[in-house]
Amino acid sequence: MTGGRAMPWWCLLAVGCSGPAAEPSTQAPPLQLRPFLGDLMALAATLPPPAAAVQSELRDLADIALQLTETDPRTAARAERALLEHADAWWVLEPALLHEDARVRSRAAWLCGQTGAAELQAALVLRLKYEADPDAVLWVADALQRLGNDCALGVLDGAMGTAATAERAGQMAIEICRERSLPLAAAPTYVELQQHLRQLFAGWHRTGTSSRPGAPAPAGQKLDARFAAHLQTTQGTKLRPVDDARFVTTRCGRLPVPLLVRTLAAEEPYLRTMALQVLTDIGAPARDAAPAVLALLADPLTGAYAVRALGAIGATEAVPYLRRLVTATDIDQRSEAVQALGLLQDHDSAAALRGRLADDQETMDVRVGAAFGLLCLGPDAAAEAFLTERQQRHDYHEPTLARLRERLARLGR
């Protein structure tokens, strides 16, 4: 889908100048890049381990709070309270999320949620990716929502449909609903709780902000340092760290957006690409990134990714630029532009999209994208017939067709 080379900036401007006379002249913001990997590494290094004496104290507190060491209830309560109030509790709690015993991981997740330290959500999100224990994953999801991250409410929703986890997930859901003053029956059913969670989950995807009243404010640099530690791994060739970086940064709502905006100006193309992919995945909550993304339309390496991101985040100010790309020489930019214009609800581009769809000399990527764009705008018999034909003939990448259909379903199309 994005294998072709993006056209040079001077071609982009030439295409812009040849647009319809009725459309005002537009020029993308200037592309100004600088080395940025060093900045990310420096930011990641701002989380040094505590002093040796503090490390020893934290280990002792953690052994008791994690119930690895037996002690009397009074001592256990004091140790737990001391750990939760400690500024460096992260140093023992984050590693505890990786403990071989699922009960210890569950306890660590619960403690993370009780700290009120919003920066711990980065480690919890990553744990969400790998946690296989059905009980532990519930505690991870609950801790995340306590720290202001609703990305895992769907986990609790799904857990209420499984006998082994339904009761605990239901108890967590009841507390979540009550904290948010949502109406509940005297004896709420799982269906009722699931409906509430789905509404909250939809709100998270729409806004990227917590639905929990009094959710802890993110600790700026502490959280940015964790995002930077993930983003810097994209310089390597190992796939898992890169996938982990994308998994974490796409599931923290609006929080990574300021750092991602700075990353868009990175001289290193792999950093720009990662930032654009993450912003695309974040969607509407990343709306503020639009000016920085617009500048990358002139980037020969990441221009197509930028087009896709502009559509995903709802950057309507990009429409004049994207209209010109419908007939760009670069296939990737054409295929992304026709989709983005649909997502941005640019009904004035419908005729141009129909032209791309009807052109049997056009590439399949662009024609499929045009059909998707038209269906984003509303019912369209030709576009629907075209996508249906692709599915029946199996002559186009089926996972891509499934993704487009899923996106249309979310739009109510």
Q: How confident is the model at residue 20 (pLDDT cuts 50, 70, 90)?
A: very low
Are 330 and 200 found together in one domain? no
**What pLDDT is recorded for position 219?**
75
Mean pLDDT of 59-79: 96
Say if residue 16's pLDDT is above 60: no
Mean pLDDT, rounded, for 268-276: 97
Residue at 163 is within a domain:
yes
**Both structure tokens of 191:** 């269906």
pLDDT attached to residue 26: 58
Whether the CB-CB separation of 141 and 173 falls below 8 Å is answered with no
> Residues 135-189: pLDDT tens digits?
999 999 999 999 999 999 999 999 999 999 999 999 999 999 999 999 999 999 9
Q: What is the pLDDT of residue 133?
A: 98
Predicted confidence band of residue 5 (pLDDT cuts 50, 70, 90): very low
Q: What CATH number does the domain containing 389 carry? A: 1.25.40
30, part of any domain: no
Q: Does residue 225 form part of some domain?
A: no
Among 207, 238, 265, identify where a domain stops: 207
Into how many domains does the chain fold? 2
Res 406 pLDDT > 50: yes
| pLDDT 10s digits, 286-335 | 999 999 999 999 999 999 999 999 999 999 999 999 999 999 999 999 99
Average pLDDT over residues 2-19: 39
Q: Is residue 157 in a domain? A: yes
Rounded Cα–Cα distance for residues 303 and 318 (Å): 13
Residue 377: what pLDDT?
Answer: 97
pLDDT interval class at 28 (50, 70, 90): low
Domain boundary among 154, 182, 207: 207
pLDDT confidence bin for 117, thresholds 50/70/90: very high
Mean pLDDT of 236-245: 92
pTM of the shown model: 0.90
Domain assignment of residue 411, yes or no: yes
Q: Give how far Cα 260 sits from Cα of 160, 227, 279, 287, 289, Å.
A: 35, 9, 8, 12, 8
Q: What is the pLDDT of residue 217?
A: 84
The answer on pLDDT for 3 being more than 70 is no
58 belongs to a structural domain: yes
Q: Are residues 203 and 332 located together in one domain of the fold?
A: no
Report the percentage of the chain scoring pLDDT > 70: 93
- Of 350, 296, 351, the closest CA to residue 318 belongs to 296
**Do 74 and 202 belong together in one domain?**
yes
Average pLDDT, the chain: 93
Residue 214 lies in a domain: no
Do 56 and 200 lie in one domain? The reply is yes
Among 207, 238, 262, give the residue marking a domain's end. 207
Which residue range is the domain that position 407 belongs to? Answer: 315-413
Confidence of residue 27 (pLDDT cuts 50, 70, 90): low
CATH number of domain containing 196: 1.25.10
Residues 59 and 197 in one domain: yes
State whether 192 and 328 are in the same domain: no
Specify if 298 maps to a domain: no
Residue 218's pLDDT is 78
